[in-house]
């Protein structure tokens, strides 16, 4: 603690503080940790001073009545502030003994005082103990204040952000050399709200507080004029508000970071991803065209070939839809509802036949892609043999999430109704294997089929781990 308080923190040449704040020397002096010899010296000095002043009072004002303890109050307080609570209590005990021996009649003895003098001494010691405790609380508060101030200054000295403070309305009331270094605008030309003149006109509404900011935190990306580049550069601000007891924001403490290069990289990536999505769609279209043009002529074509072609193209489209959604998401996470809606789009030409319902659920691209393929197989089967093969049939796709110890248990239910009776197949085909492996990437996955008289019911369940939720 002593090293921290005595450390002379030097702010880096960039002066990222709005002003080099200086802790008052008096505060540093009182909060300083001292060695035992120095504490003893302070104890002796304060008590000696109090005793000399009390003696001087007797000499100047002859015949003073009562117990002379007034000068020992500040002696005990100063000792506690400079040497700690232990020495403050020691000063109290020694003061009581000195006053009793030197100033309570008969002097130079420890003869039992009168009742009035005893009451005075007891009350004085009680009040002195309270003052010592208050002085101790003040001392540790000053130490904590000093520690926090120095931590703040050290943190600012090593950060690459621009740090400054404005009032609750966004007015700059102090010079900020870092702002001047970036924008070239000197103080006081950016005082008040005039700092906004260095922000791009289109971005100013994002930064100027209007009393409608969310809670006590505000984040924005904006363009700031850079005098060295003679151009606008992208920056990100993170502002936290210091609120009054009534909730009103008194000050905004803001960290501003240059994100120009990272934003340019992000924009380039978005262009590349857009190009990749476009090429993927073209590739799928080319494969579909080649598959259709490569099928046998009408004379040689048979039902098996057509069935294979339709299944192949359907699976290809399902894969393409899942891949497109994955590319559209930089985090490689996909929302389940978007996947199943894209997969079932070719089957929803008749309104009301397929109902899709469930909360927003973000999954890994691997899991979402597998579920998309499974849903496509279920829809294809329903179209050929199940509920969608008859006019009165319908399908419901519902998913729910329930909290469990390690995350969320996800339940997906495909339910057909109004269709022909169903029965378990004699052998398991490729489509069934695709459905059974839909949730393989996840923990505790299971797939169940229920063959009802009115249609097939398929249940897919798995645990989505908490780590995956945090990632999303």
Q: Are residues 408 and 454 in the same domain?
A: yes
The long-range contacts involving 47-50, CB below 8 angstroms and separated by at least 24 positions, are 47/72, 47/75, 47/79, 47/91, 47/94, 47/95, 47/98, 49/75, 50/74, 50/75, 50/95
Residue 278 lies in a domain: no
pLDDT at site 9 = 35
CB neighbours of 90 closer than 8 A, spacing ≥ 6?
A: 43, 79
pLDDT in tens, 436-446: 888 887 888 89
Q: Are residues 167 and 140 in the same domain?
A: no
pLDDT at site 287 = 76
Q: Are residues 78 and 193 in the same domain?
A: no
The per-residue pLDDT of the chain, averaged, comes to 80
Residue 186 lies in a domain: yes
Residue where a domain stops, chosen among 109, 134, 158: 158
pLDDT at site 350 = 56
Residue 21 has pLDDT above 60, yes or no: no
Q: Are residues 247 and 326 in the same domain?
A: no
pLDDT at site 132 = 92
Overall pTM surpassing 0.75 (yes/no): no
End-to-end CA distance of the chain: 42
b/e for 19-57, b at 16 or more Cβ within 10 A?
Answer: eeeebeeeeeebbbeeeeeebeebbeebbeebbeebeee
Residue 241: which pLDDT band, with cuts at 50, 70 and 90? confident
Q: What is the CATH number of the domain that holds 224?
A: 3.30.450.20
The Cα–Cα gap between 113 and 106 comes to 8
pLDDT in tens, 184-234: 999 889 888 899 889 999 988 888 655 444 467 788 889 999 988 889 999
Other residues' Cβ atoms within 10 Å of the Cβ of residue 336: 22
Residue where a domain stops, chosen among 95, 128, 158: 158
Closest CA to 424 of 405, 400, 445, 449: 449
Q: Are residues 69 and 147 in the same domain?
A: yes
What's the number of domains the chain is made of? 3
Question: Which of 197-201, 238-242, 265-269 bottoms out in mean pLDDT, i.e. has the lowest?
Answer: 265-269
pLDDT at site 62 = 60
pLDDT at site 271 = 73
pLDDT in tens, 24-36: 788 888 888 889 9
Residue 284 lies in a domain: no
The long-range contacts involving 182-186, CB below 8 angstroms and separated by at least 24 positions, are 182/224, 182/226, 182/227, 183/224, 183/225, 183/226, 183/227, 184/225, 184/227
Residue 1 has pLDDT above 50, yes or no: no
Q: Are residues 167 and 236 in the same domain?
A: yes
The Cα–Cα gap between 399 and 459 comes to 9
Q: Are residues 8 and 153 in the same domain?
A: yes
Residue 319 lies in a domain: yes
Q: What is the CATH number of the domain that holds 370?
A: 3.30.565.10
Residue 425 lies in a domain: yes
Q: Are residues 45 and 124 in the same domain?
A: yes
Residue 287 lies in a domain: no
Q: Are residues 350 and 367 in the same domain?
A: yes
Residue 300 lies in a domain: no
Residue where a domain stops, chosen among 201, 231, 258: 258
Q: Are residues 77 and 171 in the same domain?
A: no
8 compared with 417, residue with greater pLDDT: 417
Q: Are residues 206 and 131 in the same domain?
A: no
Q: Are residues 436 and 318 in the same domain?
A: yes
pLDDT in tens, 307-361: 677 767 776 776 677 666 666 655 467 788 888 888 887 777 656 788 999 999 8
| Containing structural domain, residue 245 | 162-258
Residue 263 has pLDDT above 90, yes or no: no
Residue 19 has pLDDT above 50, yes or no: no
Residue 280 lies in a domain: no
């Amino acid at each position: 603690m002593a090293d921290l308080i005595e450390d002379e923190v030097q702010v880096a040449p960039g002066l990222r503080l709005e002003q080099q704040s200086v802790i008052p020397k008096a505060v540093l002096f009182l909060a300083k940790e001292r060695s035992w010899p120095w504490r003893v010296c302070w104890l002796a000095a304060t008590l000696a001073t109090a005793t000399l002043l009390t003696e001087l009072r007797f000499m100047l004002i002859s015949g003073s009545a009562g117990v002379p303890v007034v000068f020992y109050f500040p002696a005990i307080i100063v000792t506690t502030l400079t040497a700690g609570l232990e020495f403050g209590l020691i000063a109290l005990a020694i003061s009581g003994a000195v006053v009793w021996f030197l100033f309570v009649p008969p002097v130079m003895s420890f003869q039992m005082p009168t009742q009035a003098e005893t009451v005075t001494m007891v009350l004085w010691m009680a009040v002195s103990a309270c003052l010592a405790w208050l002085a101790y609380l003040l001392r540790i508060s000053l130490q904590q204040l000093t520690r926090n101030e120095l931590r703040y200054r050290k943190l600012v000295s090593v950060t690459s952000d621009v740090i400054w403070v404005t009032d609750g309305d966004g007015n700059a009331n102090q010079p900020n050399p870092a702002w001047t270094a970036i924008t070239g605008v000197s103080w006081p030309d950016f005082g008040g709200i005039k700092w906004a003149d260095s922000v791009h006109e289109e971005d100013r509404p994002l930064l100027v507080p209007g009393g409608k900011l969310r809670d006590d935190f505000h984040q924005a990306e904006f363009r700031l004029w850079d005098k060295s580049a003679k151009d606008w550069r992208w920056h990100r601000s993170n502002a936290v508000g210091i609120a009054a007891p009534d909730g009103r924001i008194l000050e905004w403490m803001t960290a501003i970071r240059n994100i120009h290069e990272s934003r340019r990289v992000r924009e380039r990536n978005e262009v590349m991803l857009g190009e990749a999505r476009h090429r993927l769609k073209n590739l799928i279209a080319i494969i579909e065209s080649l598959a259709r043009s490569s099928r046998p002529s009408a004379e040689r074509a048979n039902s098996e070939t057509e069935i294979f072609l339709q299944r192949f193209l359907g699976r290809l489209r399902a894969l393409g839809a899942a891949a497109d959604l994955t590319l559209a998401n930089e985090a490689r996470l996909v929302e389940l509802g978007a996947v199943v809606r894209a997969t079932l789009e070719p089957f929803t030409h008749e309104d009301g036949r397929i109902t899709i319902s469930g909360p927003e659920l973000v999954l890994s691209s691997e899991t979402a892609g597998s579920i998309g393929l499974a849903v496509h197989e279920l829809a294809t089967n329903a179209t050929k043999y199940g509920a969608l093969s008859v006019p009165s049939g319908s399908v419901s796709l519902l998913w729910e999430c329930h909290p469990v110890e390690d995350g969320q248990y996800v339940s997906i239910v495909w339910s057909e109704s109004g269709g022909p009776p169903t029965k378990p197949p004699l052998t398991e085909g490729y489509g069934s294997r695709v459905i059974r492996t839909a949730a393989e990437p996840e923990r505790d996955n299971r797939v169940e089929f229920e063959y009802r008289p009115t249609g097939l019911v398929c249940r897919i369940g798995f645990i989505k781990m908490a780590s995956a939720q945090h990632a999303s």
